[in-house]
């Protein structure tokens, strides 16, 4: 199990591109506001909306005393950082322990491997008929080891029925016993049973990003299918191997399944885009947009990312050189998942099947209390972090535009073919009869699937809430800007 903190090539490397001429010179007169001081300084330096937040203005304070009084009045660290966020910011987050947050961003966290939909099956949306439908089980997890699979349903924990009020508490212990339900597909109901299954969360569990990669032969058409869970640069070589196999198999069409992918590494999105489209390193993939004080510091070469022809080890990139890709994406598809759709769009026909994506078009960096490194986290400088302050913030610091300048997709990308997952007919990943994949195959082959009907395409449960432990939209800039 790899536990490398893959995401955080330190933006301390920016020190070669930046200087301290714009240092605000503010220093608190009290040690009681160490955390708040770090948060304000880091946000003033990097936050994408720094100019739009009055309290983050460079001229906000006339002296150290006024600055200190402001920090003291800001309350606890969580309240203080929340007070600095711009109204449009939906995705900045933070943690009092930087190691915990960095691990979670790398796909390493305490987990039993269970990912579910919480569904209220009553038309009046009452709280006494809520169920957990399993949408995904991470391979190697305790949930997988206990035989839980996609499409299973549970009605409670230890005999206590799920409601919207108690569901989080019931699922919070490290170990709990689920009460299994039985699907009544015809009447779209769940019957209770006496069957139980106990699962336990594992510390430092790593979610592998490649859930499934296979080549389907549909009436002679070779279709590559990749269920991709997270843009994790620790697995770039494995991803390249997948495309090497696709090339060897003679794949002519690709279905990229990112329906539950919250994002991750910007560089991995660039590599994956190159594996899909091509390896011409003269073609622009994306361009960064920072706040005004940061944007002026960088050259075009530092701000621009071109398609790649090799992974970091120097291994040549395997590419399918496609002019069209089918993407399965939903409201759970965010950040780097949306980035690759936007970055490919000027070059490739991106056929989107599913529902509207989340709409997170900002990237973030990890900021810690290391002022000599402009507060940016760099693994080699972990000993320089203030030992009395382990807080970390993951603020939105910029946006990526594609090669034709399109950047604004905060409302998400709408599908070309809208198809909501039906919890009574989820199917199995990679199965040609799974509804979303079947729809893609239909478009590729121009042959209607006998297993699907128009009614199935339009079905959706009354209310669906995704239950995840730490799934967030994440797009991490992991590029050296020297």
**Secondary structure of 162-188 as H, E, C letters:** CCCCCHHHHCCCCEEEEEEEEEECCCC
Q: Is 40 helix (H, G, I), strand (E, B) or coil?
A: helix
Is 90 exceeded by the pLDDT of residue 386? yes
**Distant-in-sequence, close-in-space partners of 412: CB < 8 Å, separation ≥ 6:** 331, 338, 356, 357, 358, 359
Least confident of 155-169, 399-413, 467-481: 467-481
| 253 pLDDT more than 90 | yes
Work out the burial of residue 51: count CB atoms within 10 Å of its CB; fewer than 13 is exposed, 13-18 middle, 19 or more buried: middle
Q: What is the mean pLDDT of residues 156-160?
A: 95
Provide the strand spans (E) within 345-422. Answer: 349-354, 362-364, 392-394, 396-402, 417-418
SS3 at position 75: coil
- Mind giving me the DSSP string for 203-247? EEEE--SEEEEEEEEETTEEEEEEEE--B-GGGHHHHHHHHHHHH
Q: Tokens in use for 13?
A: 């490397």
Instruction: Indicate whether 295 and 265 sit together in one domain.
Output: yes
Domain boundary among 175, 206, 237: 206
Residue 160 has pLDDT above 70, yes or no: yes
Asked whether residue 466 is assigned to any structural domain, the reply reads: no
The pLDDT of residue 480 is 61
Are 222 and 323 part of one and the same domain?
A: yes
Domain count, the chain: 3
Strands 392-394 and 93-95, bridge-based pairing: antiparallel
Q: Which of 396, 413, 448 is the last residue of a domain?
A: 396
Residue 195 lies in a domain: yes
DSSP assignment of 113-179 equals SEEEEEEE-STT--SSSEEEEEEEE-TTSHHHHTT--TT-EEEEETTEEP-TTTHHHHT-SSEEEEE
Q: Final residue of a domain: which of 396, 412, 440? A: 396
Strand partners, 153: 133
Same domain, 275 and 402: yes
pLDDT classification of 341: cutoffs 50, 70, 90 = very high
For 90-139, how does the pLDDT look when each residue is reduced to its tens digit (9 = 90+)?
Answer: 899 999 999 888 887 777 788 999 999 888 886 555 556 789 999 999 99
Residue 476 lies in a domain: no
Instruction: Using the CB atoms, write b or e for 2-27: b if 16+ within 10 Å.
Output: eeebbbbbbbbbbbeebeeeeeeebe
The Cα 275–Cα 348 span in angstroms is 12
Q: Are residues 214 and 254 in the same domain?
A: yes
pLDDT of res. 124: 52
CATH number at residue 436: 3.90.226.10
Q: d(Cα 87, Cα 92) in Å, to the nearest integer?
A: 11
Predicted pLDDT of residue 258:
98
Least confident of 174-188, 327-341, 370-384, 445-459: 445-459
Mean per-residue pLDDT, 417-446: 95
49 and 192 co-located in one domain = no
* 284 and 306 belong to one structural domain: yes
Q: Mark whether 227 and 340 lie in a shared domain.
A: yes
Six-digit token string for 259:
């329906």
Nearest CA to 233 out of 397, 479, 399 is that of 479
Q: Do 264 and 401 share a domain, yes or no?
A: yes
473, part of any domain: no
**CA dist 117 to 202, 320, 412, 465, Å?**
21, 34, 21, 6
Q: Same structural domain for residues 198 and 225?
A: no
Domain of residue 371, residue span: 11-106+365-396
Q: State the average pLDDT over residues 391-401.
A: 94
- Judge whether 344 and 351 are in contact, CB under 8 Å: no
Q: Tell me which residue of 374, 392, 349 sits closest to 5, measured CA to CA.
A: 392
Whether the per-residue pLDDT at 468 is higher than 60: the answer is no
Q: How is residue 414 annotated by DSSP?
A: P
* Residue 187 falls inside a structural domain: yes
Percent of the chain with pLDDT over 90: 72
- Residue 162: what pLDDT? 92
Q: What are phi and psi of 50, to 5 degrees?
A: -55, -40
**Same domain for 390 and 441?**
no
Q: Same domain for 329 and 425?
A: yes
pLDDT exceeds 70 at position 404: yes
Check whether 476 has a pLDDT greater than 80: no
Alpha carbon separation from 137 to 115, 198, 429 (Å, rounded): 6, 14, 11
Q: What is the pTM of this model?
A: 0.88
**Do residue 123 and residue 265 come from a single domain?**
no
Average pLDDT, the chain: 88
Report if residue 481 sits inside a domain. Answer: no
């Amino acid at each position: 199990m790899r536990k490398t903190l893959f995401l955080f090539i330190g933006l301390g490397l920016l020190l070669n591109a930046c200087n301290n001429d714009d240092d605000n010179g503010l220093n608190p007169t009290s040690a009681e506001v160490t955390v708040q001081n770090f948060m304000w300084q880091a946000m003033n330096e990097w936050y994408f909306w720094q100019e739009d937040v009055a309290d983050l203005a460079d001229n906000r304070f006339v002296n150290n005393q006024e600055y200190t009084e402001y920090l003291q009045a800001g309350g606890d660290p969580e309240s203080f950082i929340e007070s600095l966020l711009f109204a449009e910011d939906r995705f900045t987050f933070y943690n009092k322990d930087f190691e915990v947050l960095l691990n979670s961003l790398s796909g390493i966290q305490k987990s039993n491997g269970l990912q579910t939909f919480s569904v209220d099956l009553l038309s009046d949306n009452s709280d006494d008929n809520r169920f957990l439908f399993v949408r995904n089980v991470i391979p190697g997890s305790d949930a997988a080891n206990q035989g839980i699979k996609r499409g299973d349903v549970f009605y409670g924990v230890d005999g206590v029925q799920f409601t919207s009020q108690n569901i989080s508490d019931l699922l919070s212990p490290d170990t709990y016993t689920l009460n299994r339900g039985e699907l009544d597909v015809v009447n779209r109901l769940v019957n209770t049973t006496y069957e139980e299954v106990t699962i336990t969360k594992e510390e430092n569990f790593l979610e592998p990003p490649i859930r499934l990669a296979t080549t389907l032969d549909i009436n002679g058409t070779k279709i590559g299918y990749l269920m991709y869970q997270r843009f994790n640069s620790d697995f770039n070589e494995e991803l390249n191997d997948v495309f090497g196999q696709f090339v060897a198999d003679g794949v002519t069409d690709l279905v990229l399944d990112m329906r539950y992918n919250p994002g991750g590494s910007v560089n991995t999105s660039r590599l994956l885009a190159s594996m899909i489209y091509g390896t011409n390193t003269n073609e622009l993939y994306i361009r960064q947009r920072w706040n005004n004080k940061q944007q002026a510091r960088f050259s075009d070469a530092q701000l621009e990312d071109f398609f790649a022809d090799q992974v970091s080890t120097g291994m040549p990139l395997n590419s399918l050189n496609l002019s069209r890709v089918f993407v399965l994406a939903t409201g759970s598809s965010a950040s780097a998942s949306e980035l690759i759709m936007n970055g490919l769009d000027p070059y490739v026909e991106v056929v989107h099947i599913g529902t509207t994506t989340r709409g997170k078009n900002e990237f973030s960096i990890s900021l810690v209390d290391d002022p000599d490194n402009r507060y940016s986290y760099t693994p080699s400088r972990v000993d320089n972090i203030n030992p009395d302050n382990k807080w970390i913030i993951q603020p939105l610091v910029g946006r990526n535009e594609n090669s034709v300048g399109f950047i604004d997709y905060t409302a998400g990308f709408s599908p070309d073919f809208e198809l909501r997952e039906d919890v009574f007919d989820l199917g199995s990943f990679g199965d040609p009869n799974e509804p979303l994949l079947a729809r893609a195959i239909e478009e590729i082959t121009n042959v209607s699937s006998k297993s699907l009907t128009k009614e199935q395409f339009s079905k959706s449960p009354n209310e669906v809430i995704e239950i995840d432990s730490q799934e967030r939209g994440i797009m991490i800039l992991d590029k050296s800007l020297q």
